[in-house]
């Protein structure tokens, strides 16, 4: 399985403690180093193999080493002790919006010829969530060909949390007041047995001067780095007026990014560059939470009761070593 290592190495739920003790010589992690990589772990907590690489041949070797170690592992070391439960109480995917809209978002660097450029190896994936109630309120109940309307909730969520420069690394979201433009319009082009065909168009612009305008937490940057991004959007969608859901949704955003953030892979190059985004309906499985889901600030997203420490293990009641 794949999981987000930040929670595992900084959290205090049972599965986090299990991971930390397995990869950290039996002790809780109290340093700020990362434990990202490929870990092959027996259900009982024995580390079988490990490596940190994106080379697929090396990953295969790690998995094969893990299988060999598993074959030699005594039966009494293979499984959790009776009565031990490491099921977490909170995971973000528990708030997956059943009956709402879930989009897969792909960001990719573009060359000088825009969408006609040779495909860049710099790309990243994310997901977008819209709840059933939000979705139901998104479009008018009565639709006719030629109708036009704005989609403010959707475009502001996209512009703040998903149209971000993370094609080459891990970037930051935008505060609401850092958006100088967030427009998305839908035009009904056809009605057929309760299905409305929509044409989508819009534009966004976000400017951050480097000052962190959101609440302190996991994403608070170490340094102030001005950055921004603007796009033009175009797409199509198919809206079911009976179920009040999208049967299809495809949106492309193309524009310019500039500046850099701490970990978005731009190095010292903060010069402008072209970037593109594809947003389309995601399959029902696997259920993957958006990167910035904790910042959506909506009541249908359940926040964790057990803290994940950011600056010091003392935040979770651990000794700061």
Pair 245, 166 in one domain:
yes
CA nearest neighbour of 108 among 168, 158, 155 = 168
Pair 262, 239 in one domain:
yes
Pair 56, 101 in one domain:
no
Average pLDDT taken over every residue of the chain: 93
In this predicted model, what pLDDT tens digit does every residue of 149-179 receive, in sequence order?
Answer: 999 999 999 999 999 999 999 999 999 999 9
Classify residue 189: in a domain, yes or no: yes
Pair 68, 141 in one domain:
no
Residue 321 has a pLDDT of 47
What SS3 class is residue 102?
strand
Which tokens is 176 given?
């609401």
Pair 185, 277 in one domain:
yes
Pair 107, 176 in one domain:
yes
Classify residue 300: in a domain, yes or no: no
Instruction: Please give the share of the chain, as a percent, with pLDDT higher than 70.
Output: 99
CA nearest neighbour of 236 among 257, 251, 214, 225 = 251
State the residue range of the domain holding 74: 5-90+306-316
Instruction: Please give the share of the chain, as a percent, with pLDDT higher than 90.
Output: 82
Pair 243, 265 in one domain:
yes
Pair 123, 178 in one domain:
yes
Residue 119 has a pLDDT of 80
Contact present, 186 and 199 (Cβ < 8 Å): yes
Classify residue 276: in a domain, yes or no: yes
Pair 153, 170 in one domain:
yes
Q: What is the CA radius of gyration of the chain?
A: 22
Structural domain total, the chain: 2
In this predicted model, what pLDDT tens digit does every residue of 282-319 receive, in sequence order?
Answer: 998 999 999 999 999 999 999 999 888 888 888 877 76
Classify residue 240: in a domain, yes or no: yes
Contact present, 35 and 50 (Cβ < 8 Å): no
Full-model pTM: 0.91
CA nearest neighbour of 237 among 281, 193, 197, 191 = 197
Q: Would you place residue 113 in the very low, low, confident or very high pLDDT band (cuts 50, 70, 90)? A: confident
Pair 130, 241 in one domain:
yes
Mean pLDDT (whole number) for 189-215: 96
């Amino acid at each position: 399985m794949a999981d987000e290592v930040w929670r595992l190495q900084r959290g205090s739920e049972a599965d986090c403690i299990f991971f930390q003790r397995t990869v950290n010589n039996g002790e809780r992690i109290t340093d700020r180093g990362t434990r990202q990589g490929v870990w092959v772990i027996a259900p009982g907590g024995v580390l079988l193999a490990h490596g940190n690489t994106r080379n697929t041949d090396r990953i295969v070797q790690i998995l094969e080493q893990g299988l060999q170690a598993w074959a030699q592992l005594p039966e009494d070391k293979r499984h959790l002790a009776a009565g031990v439960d490491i099921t977490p109480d909170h995971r973000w995917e528990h708030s997956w919006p059943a009956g709402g809209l879930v989009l897969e978002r792909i960001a990719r660097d573009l060359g000088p010829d825009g969408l006609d450029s040779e495909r860049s190896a710099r790309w990243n994936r994310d997901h977008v969530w819209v709840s059933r109630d939000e979705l139901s309120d998104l479009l008018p109940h009565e639709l006719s060909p030629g109708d036009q309307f704005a989609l403010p909730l959707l475009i502001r969520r996209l512009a703040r949390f998903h149209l971000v420069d993370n094609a080459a690394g891990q970037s930051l979201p935008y505060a609401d007041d850092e958006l100088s433009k967030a427009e998305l319009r839908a035009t009904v082009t056809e009605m057929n047995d309760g299905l409305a065909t929509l044409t989508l168009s819009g534009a966004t612009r976000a400017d951050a001067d480097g000052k962190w305008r959101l609440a302190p937490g996991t994403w608070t940057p170490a340094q102030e780095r001005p950055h921004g991004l603007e796009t033009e959007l175009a797409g199509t969608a198919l809206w079911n007026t009976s179920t009040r859901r999208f049967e299809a949704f495809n949106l492309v955003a193309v524009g310019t990014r500039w500046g850099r953030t701490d970990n978005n892979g731009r190095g010292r190059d903060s010069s402008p560059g072209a970037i593109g985004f594809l947003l389309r309906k995601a399959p029902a499985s696997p259920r993957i939470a958006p990167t910035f889901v904790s910042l959506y600030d909506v009541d249908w997203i359940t926040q964790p009761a057990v803290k994940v420490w950011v600056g010091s293990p003392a935040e979770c009641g651990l000794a700061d070593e």
